Structures are given as C-alpha cells and as structure tokens.
Amino acid sequence: MSTVLIEIRRAKSSDAAAVAETHDEAWRAAYQGVIPAIELEKLIMRRGPDWWDSAIRKGSRIAILAFGDKVAGYANYGRNRARSLFYDGEIYELYLRPEYQGLGFGRRLFTSARRDLAQSGLKSLVIWALADNEPAVEFYKALGGKAVARSSERFGERNLEKVAFAWNN
Ligand SMILES: CC(C)(COP(=O)(O)OP(=O)(O)OC[C@H]1O[C@@H](n2cnc3c(N)ncnc32)[C@H](O)[C@@H]1OP(=O)(O)O)[C@@H](O)C(=O)NCCC(=O)NCCS
C-alpha cells in the first residue's frame, strides 16, 4: 500500500514550472472552443514559468494543491479589484489539472483561499467566471456563491459574458 500526501500550501519559486504547466493544461481544457484559439494561446504563453516565478517572488498569494510531488491545482487571490463591487477579497483564479477535477479538490482549494483571505481581514469574497464555463458556474453555485454582477470581456473577435459570484462573511 502507498500513501499519497495531499496538502495545500503557499507556492514557492521552485513550484513555478509546475504551476505554469498546470495553468497551461487547465486553461486549454476549460477554454478550448470558448476563447478564440489564437487568444487562448497568447494567454497561455504569457504565463510561463518566469511569469509565475516573478509573481511568487513578489509575494502574490498563490496556493497550490500538491498531490504527492505533483501540483494538481492552484488558486491565486488577494484584494477585490473591481471598485464597483463592495467585496473585500477576490479569488482571481482557481484551476485544477483535468485529471484532478471532480474529486473534491476544488472545494478544498476554495475553502483554504477563503480562510486565508478572512485571516487577513478580507472576509467577503468575489470570483468571476466566464458565463460559458458551465462547470465553473455550477461549482460556484454548489459552494453557495450568489451571482451578483455581470460584465463582459473581449478576447480577440469574441466578446464573452462574465458572471461574478459572491460570498458574504
Ligand atoms: C471548477 C473546478 C475548480 C472545480 O473543482 P472540482 O475539484 O472539480 O470540484 P469539487 O469536486 O470540489 O466539487 C465541489 C462541489 O461542486 C460541484 N460541482 C463541481 N463541478 C460541477 C459541475 N460541473 N456541475 C455541477 N456541480 C459541480 C460538486 O458536485 C461538488 O458539490 P458537493 O460538494 O455538494 O458534492 C475544477 O473542475 C476546474 O479546475 N475546472 C477547470 C478550470 C475552471 O473552470 N476553473 C474555474 C475558472 S473561473
């Protein structure tokens, strides 16, 4: 029998390449056919190991879910960026590699990020998801998020709707 250690911890510089790979795999799986291919490629290329290394060194809050020695997923979060929304914190991104989805890890990462934000005084929380990203929308609803705002973002030729989900203290 073998035991695999599953832990959520702050990303270190030495995780940068694995986080970049996780980002690449998760974004391709989630957004192929949603975000135009050229735009998606650009978004992924911008986020290579150097980008993650620099974000980690700058002190951005990036948590990873480590499954043994593999990075299965990550969440990055901090202050809410949208001034028009009165929420303290924001989870900017929460992504799992496809093979780790549907196993309860998303909930664990979310709970950990929410707790970390609350511990630094950011008690209410918002997360944006593309409206076409149905699994994410269903996930945030299952976690008790309420749809509180809509917006849109342009990706090349395509304009995509976004939904903000919120949690109060
Ligand atoms: C969205 C994502 C983070 C969810 O994580 P996950 O580990 O797959 O979800 P969990 O297994 O923790 O599910 C938590 C709850 O959400 C529900 N849920 C998750 N995905 C769902 C779906 N597609 N449809 C309906 N419910 C869903 C689960 O049933 C579960 O409910 P329960 O705890 O009441 O039983 C993950 O699937 C992922 O990384 N997807 C691709 C990237 C992405 O879209 N990220 C979000 C960008 S905004």
pLDDT score at 32: 96
Atom of ligand 1 nearest to the CA of 29: 41
pLDDT at 1: 78
User: Is there a contact between 78 and 61 (Cβ–Cβ < 8 Å)?
Assistant: yes
Question: Of all residues in the chain, what percent carry a pLDDT higher than 70?
Answer: 100
Backbone dihedral angles phi then psi of residue 18, each to the nearest 5 degrees: -70, -35
Taking the C-alpha atoms of residue 104 and residue 107, their distance in angstroms, rounded to an integer, is 5
pTM of the model: 0.96
Confidence of residue 83 (pLDDT cuts 50, 70, 90): confident
Find the mean pLDDT for residues 55-81: 97
pLDDT tens, residue by residue, 84-140: 899 999 999 999 999 999 999 999 999 999 999 999 999 999 999 999 999 999 999
Residue 1 lies in a domain: no
- The verdict on residue 67 lying in a domain is yes
Q: Whole-angstrom Cα distance, residue 85 to residue 83?
A: 5
Out of 114, 139, 151, give the residue to mutate to test ligand 1, the one with the largest number of ligand atoms within 8 Å of its CB: 139
Residue 76 pLDDT class (50, 70, 90 cuts): very high
Token pair for 3: 């035991």
Give the count of domains, the chain.
1
Name the nearest CA neighbour of 91 among 164, 6, 153.
Answer: 164
Residue 102 near ligand 1, beta carbon < 6 Å: yes
| Cβ(106) – ligand 1 distance below 6 Å | yes
Residue nearest to atom 2 of ligand 1 (CA): 106
- Residue 121 lies in domain: 6-167
Cβ–ligand 1 distance for 103 under 6 Å, the answer: yes
Quote the CA–CA distance of 120 and 91 in Å, as a whole number: 14
Q: What is the pLDDT of residues 57-66, one digit of tens each?
A: 999 999 999 9
**Tokens found for residue 101:** 């989805």
* Domain of residue 144, CATH code: 3.40.630.30
- Per-residue pLDDT, 2: 83
Q: Give me the chain's average pLDDT, please.
A: 97
With a 6 Å cutoff on the Cβ, whether 31 touches ligand 1 is no
Distance CA 157, CA 17 (A): 31
Residue 82 clears pLDDT 80, i.e. is over it: yes
Q: How confident is the model over 9-15, as a mean pLDDT? A: 98
Predicted confidence (pLDDT) at residue 169 exceeds the cutoff of 80: no
Q: Is the CB of 68 under 6 A from ligand 1?
A: no
The torsion of the CA quartet 165, 27, 65, 119, rounded to 10 degrees, works out to: -30
